[in-house]
Amino acid sequence: MTSGSSFGSGWICGGRYPGLAPLAQVVLVRIAEENAHVGEKEILRGLRWVLANHRRFGIRVVNLSVGGDEPAPSARDRIDRLVATLVERGVVIVASVGNRADRPPVAPASAPEAITVGGVDDLGRADDGEARWWPSTHGPTVDGVDKPDVLAPSIWVPAPMVPRTPQAREAALLFELDALPDALLMRALERRLGELPFPKEILRLPAQGIRGVLAMRRAEQKFITPEHQHVDGTSFAAPMVAATAALMLEANPSLDPLHVKGILMATARPLRDAPREVQGAGVVQPGAAAREARRARDSVAAARVSPVIDGGRVRYVLIDGSGALERVEWAGALDGWKATPMHRSARGVWVHEHPRPPAGEHAYKFLLSDGRWTCDPLNPRRVADGFGGWNSVLVVRR
């Protein structure tokens, strides 16, 4: 259902509910045990298979709507380490943050390199002006990395049901009965009542009463067509972001995972009245992200990561895919947050170098010519700035 919600063609419903990336080539990797259990061992097996086969099958994006068992430091967590390796090999990793607000994010959502996705309730409308945060896992990981990175719809998501499951059979029968004329409805319901969770007393109702009961059951189960159901959870938010990443890579195949993440965060739209720690950069905007990916073709080759420690210097890079910024300044705790102009090394590429600071964690961010402050999209480490935004964090080891 997660695959169909974002990558399905919509063929079964006449094109009414296609996914965001219906033309993507999808590799389905089964990791569940026969009893449907998915734990850390199963996630590891799946990621190892992807690591061994991603070049063979051309895998550029991996969606992980699964979660590990317990929070752990990323440096010791085998899943998080595999995520980091895959990102280094050029594979975008998208992970659902989870639906529990009572514990820190767990692997793979806890991996700093992953694009971790939380949930938003867009009220079933295209305009997210009134959207609100959908309660899901959030907050710093055990290592202090704030998650999620972005949000995507996690309720009212139409998804094709798995054929021949009890839900699919019930939905088909409910719609079939409702399509019958009154004279046939009563006889058909009496014959097939054992397939539905209704008491025999329903047969005493008039036809319109029966139709009302059928409609209530469809609404209760969120059946929207004989084959589709409204679903919820961050497991369905993550594939939307994975599909958006696929669109971005189609528009610009030269993007690497950190640039994909940076563009997704830079083009996201913050939710009103929702604190940064629960929404990250905000709600993903697929169209804006794909357009920005296309505009960034000329600039992404100039930078792969930021910041980079090289001997006694630190190099910071900001990618402006639109090429519209006239000035960018660097500011950080090391200089008392004094803004320092960055150098434009190429179209849309702004660079700043700074002497290597002592070991520790050092906050910084960028000031754009349009007056906006922004964290470093190429750096997954960030902390709340106390003003509703984020500071990026440079980590210097001993």
Asked if residue 132 is part of any domain, the answer here is: yes
Q: Clarify whether residues 50 and 109 are in a common domain.
A: yes
φ/ψ of residue 380, rounded to 5: -75, -15
Q: Is residue 10 part of a domain?
A: yes
Same domain, 79 and 41: yes
Which tokens is 192 given?
A: 């097939």
Q: How many domains are contained in the chain?
A: 3
* Residue 225 belongs to a domain: no
**Strand 328-332 versus strand 313-319 pairing type:** unpaired
Position 259 pLDDT exceeds 80: yes
The single-letter DSSP state of residue 239 is H
Mean pLDDT across 253-259: 89
Tell me if the bond preceding 108 is cis, omega within 30° of 0. Answer: yes
Q: Which CATH number fits the domain that encloses residue 147?
A: 3.40.50.200
CATH of the domain at 344: 2.60.40.10
Domain shared by 110 and 256, yes or no: yes
293 plus 311 within the same structural domain: no
- Average pLDDT, integer, range 120-129: 76
Is 381 inside any structural domain?
yes
**Final residue of a domain: which of 279, 297, 315?**
297
Domain holding 172, by residue range, is: 163-214
- Please indicate, yes or no, whether residues 22 and 147 belong to a single structural domain of this protein: yes
226 within some domain: no
Tens-place pLDDT, residues 322-364:
667 899 999 999 999 999 999 988 777 899 999 999 999 999 9
Residues 144 and 167 in one domain: no
Please give the span between the terminal C-alpha atoms of the chain, in angstroms, as a whole number: 47
96 domain-assigned = yes
Average pLDDT, the chain: 90
105/82 Cα distance (integer angstroms): 17
Q: Does 273 lie in the same domain as 132?
A: yes
